[in-house]
Amino acid sequence: MGRSRTVAATADGCWDTFAGFGRPAYRFPVAWAGVQPEGRGPAPRACLAYYDRLVDSLLDKGVTPIATLYQWDLPQSLDEAGGWTNRETALRFADYTTAVHAALGDRVRLWTTLDEPSRAAFLGHAHDAVDALRAAHHLLLAHGLAVSVVRERAPEHEVSIVLNLTTVVVDRDDHVHTAAFRRVDGLRNRFFLDPLFGRGYPVDVLADTAWLGTWDDVVLPGDLDVIAEPVDWYGVAYYGPARVIPTEDPLAVTGGGHPGLRGARLLAPPFGEPLGEAFAELMLRLSIDYPELPLMVTENTHPAAVAV
């Protein structure tokens, strides 16, 4: 894979060109609930046969397959046992990764562990901030365990994760607006980026959410090392900027996308928001704050932002 920092890509089901690869590629999700309907054990032959045909067809057409291991479909039995709030789900994800890699790893060389884990965690548990944060940690733990599986089975393969990140926008540069910016940016961006890059969870985010309780029974010794297992690149899904205003209401939160956050409120981007400029700002920020890895834009709903 090319080592350019920013690579435009598509993930909409079309066999377009991955510009940074210099060859056609197609990123597709693998259904965990199909491969392991009970969340463990051998996969039904019919399900694996489908992915065999898909991968073979892509390769026959000269298209490089990129397998995404998790895009929000969870086996029912695991969901009933607590889903991502249950640490066991992360361990089961490692076993699932082994099963998929054993079936497809002879032909698939590019892997994405999770697609937009904040959606599964924060939106999937919008009713309970404690559960949302617990789920987020277990998703990141599952990512690290999956990376280790692929590395052990095929060190030459490339592994990534896709995050939905945003540019946080405030209207003024005073103390309260700056504080609101920091809080939302912390949960929306840094909460996922920092541990992946070996920096642990941001101290200020832990302080912002401390009123929910401690993480002593969630983040266990060694977890952060697992999460920081090196990847080859990371993907960015971009849907537009997040405009934030401060609020004095101590119980106000920004909605399901930012669990347990006080003192800030998220607004829907108004018509005319400078989408391309916000995208360019995000790309610049990532290249400065997280320069260690190349990034790939895997999804982008705003055409004006493509030319960056």
* Catalytic residue list contains 152: no
Q: What is the CATH number of the domain that holds 104?
A: 3.20.20.80
- Annotated catalytic residue within 116, 152, 156, 273: 116
Residue 84 lies inside a defined structural domain of this protein: yes
> Is the pLDDT confidence value at 54 over 90?
yes
Angle between helices 87-104 and 45-60 (to 10 degrees): 50
The pLDDT of residue 220 is 97
The pLDDT of residue 289 is 97
Choice between 270 and 93, residue whose per-residue pLDDT is larger? 93
User: What is the number of residues in the chain?
Assistant: 308
Structural domain includes residue 210: yes
Which range, of 26-40, 84-98, 139-153, averages the lowest pLDDT?
A: 26-40
Query: Which string of DSSP letters, residue by residue, matches 127-188?
Result: T-HHHHHHHHHHHHHHHHHHHHHHHHH-TTSEEEEEEE---EE-S--SHHHHHHHHHHHIII
12 pLDDT band (50/70/90 cuts)? very low
The reply to whether 185 falls in a domain is no
pLDDT per position as a tens digit, 64-118: 999 999 999 999 999 999 999 999 999 999 999 999 999 999 999 999 999 999 9
pLDDT of 259 reads 74
- Name the domain count of the chain: 1
Amino acid identity, residue 293? Answer: L
- Residue 146 in any domain: the answer is yes
pLDDT of residue 274: 61
Considering the domain boundaries, does residue 183 fall inside one?
A: no
Mean of pLDDT values over 238-258: 69
Rounded Cα distance, 43 and 103, in Å: 10
Residue 116 appears among annotated catalytic residues:
yes
The tens digit of pLDDT for each residue in 279-291 reads: 899 999 999 999 9
Minimum mean pLDDT range among 44-53, 98-107, 224-233? 44-53
Domain that holds residue 130: 6-167+201-237+275-305
CA angle 229, 40, 144 (to 5 degrees): 5
The answer, yes or no, to whether residue 50 has pLDDT greater than 50, is: yes
Rounded-to-integer distance, Cα 256 and Cα 124, Å: 8
List Cα–Cα distances, 221 to 27, 84, 120, 216, 218, in angstroms.
Answer: 34, 19, 24, 10, 10
pLDDT in the model for residue 262: 73
Q: Compute the distance between CA of residue 264 and CA of residue 225 in angstroms, rounded to an integer.
A: 31
**44-to-34, 89, 149, 210, 237 alpha-carbon distances in Å:** 8, 20, 21, 44, 32
Per-residue model confidence as pLDDT tens digits over 183-226: 889 999 999 999 999 999 999 999 988 988 888 899 999 999 99
Do residues 132 and 125 touch, judged by C-beta distance below 8 A?
yes
Tokens 């030319």 appear where?
A: 307
Q: Are 141 and 88 in contact (CB under 8 A)?
A: no
Better pLDDT: 24 or 272 = 24
Contact (CB, 8 A) for 124 and 202: no
Pick from 140, 145, 107: nearest CA to 26: 107
Helix (H, G, I), strand (E, B) or coil at 45: helix
174 is a domain residue? no
Query: Can you tell me the distance from the alpha carbon of 127 to that of 234, in angstroms, rounded to the nearest whole number?
Result: 29
CB atoms within 10 A of CB 3: 10
Measured between alpha carbons, how far is 183 from 285 in angstroms, rounded to an integer? 17
115 residue type, one letter: D
From residue 227, alpha-carbon distances to 31, 50, 119, 140, 297 in Å are: 22, 31, 18, 6, 22
pLDDT at 155 over 70: yes
**Residue 95 forms part of a structural domain:** yes
CB contact burial 75-102 (16+ within 10 A = b; e otherwise): beebbeeebbbbbebbebbbebbbbbbe
What percent of the chain has a predicted confidence (pLDDT) above 90?
59
The answer to whether residue 250 is domain-embedded is no
Q: What is the pLDDT of residue 257?
A: 62
